[in-house]
Amino acid sequence: MSFASLEGKRALVTGASKGIGRAIAEELARGGAEVVVGYRTGTEEAEALAGEIGGRAVQADVSSAEEAARLVEEAGDLDILVNNAGLTRDGLLARMSDDDWRTVLETNLSSVFYTCRAVCRPMMKKRAGSIVNVSSIVGIHGNWGQTNYGASKAGIIGFTKSLARELGSRGVRANVVAPGYVRTQLTDVLPEEATSAMLGNTPLGRLGEPQDVAGAVRFLCSDEASFVTGDVLLVDGGLGM
């Protein structure tokens, strides 16, 4: 059996139609898991991905408690939950609208609460399960113009640590992966000077790739990480040291 094998496990990945979420879904499937591709937009991409990895695509807006619960129910008997859904609406706090604040918090943080609440009882009942919530280096160090995003990603860390304490006695683990600056559609639009500044502060001297994050998630989902819970794994090229 290969290292970090996920054979016989079923996983749900939210925000999986593109970027980091897509890479996570592909990696978990490569490890042998049956993967449910959760998505809000990008139906064609999600369906195509599900076909490629032999999984299923289920549409849901996880910022809604009802939709998140439906997604978990349709996914079936889960061994793994990866919360990756998220968005940004950047801007200075002095000019930030209530809508930009609420939308980011509901999509990035409340969605994690909704899906974890839906999955925790079944996992506790079978005394097994792995939850991985995707945060960000911004949730640890902050970033100019991202008070809403930073709050949501910091909230994920505190939420997950508390969840790990609640579920540990039932054999369910909860961890966080916090990516640094990863090459996705979100970073592709950054000004060149901003990217150069990031690279200058990153000891490995490069942007991350979605696959870098996916490998870390696969490890945390596997039995090789059976004694790891409540942890925050930085996948940032050393940026957060």
Active site residues: 149
> What's the gap between Cα 173 and its chain centre?
15
Beta bridge partners of 56: 36
* Closest to 114 (Cα-Cα) out of 63, 163, 156: 63
Question: CB-based contacts of 190: which residues, under 8 Å, 6+ apart?
Answer: none
> Cβ distance 127 to 170 under 8 Å?
yes
**CA distances (Å), origin 113, targets 69, 88, 157, 191:** 11, 18, 12, 33
Tokens of 40: 């809000």
